[in-house]
Homo-oligomer: A and B are copies of this chain.
């Protein structure tokens, strides 16, 4: 998605440790006009799939998911992160390992809001190691719902998440895949744009 790649090149900041900071438009301050264009693009890429629900994860996925949902005309459910093992039987739960924060947390979704008959699109802002997205997929499968696919705004193509998710047969669409980036020169190369 050219509009998004241009925006990442213009406003993204490359930091040490392969960190790409896009908090001026994606995950702290949020450019809602851009989110609407992202919604239209996901609708185009997942056309005809009869999606009836979008599932995301708190916190930064929620805003994108809610704007994208308007292009699909469906409700959004967000998985909650919790550090305390939820023992109530009324939720689906799975463990997710966070590389960023070096810990394991549980994510939960109420059984009321996901189940057989649902056709679910996963939406998130970033895909790096893929652990969060994989956790969301497990929640969908545990609920008996059908997983239509996963839509990601920015995939770090040099990390394992994309390959891991695709190897599980999940239809993954990432609007911008960063192949490599250079902190010193500030250059970003996207997949498909290599010369």
Task: Select one of B28, B58, B64 contacting A113, CB under 8 A.
Answer: B28
- Residues of A at under 8 Å CB distance from B? 23-25, 28-33, 35-36, 58-60, 62-67, 69-70, 73-78, 80, 109-110, 112-113
Whole-angstrom distance from the CB of A27 to the nearest CB of chain B? 9
Tell me whether B75 and A28 are in contact (CB under 8 A). no
Distance of A74 Cα from B62 Cα, bound (Å): 17
The 9 A-B pairs with the shortest beta carbon distances in the complex, nearest first, are: A58-B59, A63-B66, A29-B113, A62-B62, A59-B59, A30-B76, A32-B69, A62-B63, A29-B77
Scoring A25, A33, A62, A70 by chain B CB atoms within 10 A of each residue's CB, the highest score goes to A62
Tell me whether A28 and B69 are in contact (CB under 8 A). no
Residues of B within 8 A of A24 (CB): 112-113
Distance of A24 Cα from B109 Cα, bound (Å): 12
Whole-angstrom distance from the CB of A109 to the nearest CB of chain B? 8
Whole-angstrom distance from the CB of A180 to the nearest CB of chain B? 26
Residues of B within 8 A of A69 (CB): 30, 32
Residues of B within 8 A of A64 (CB): 66
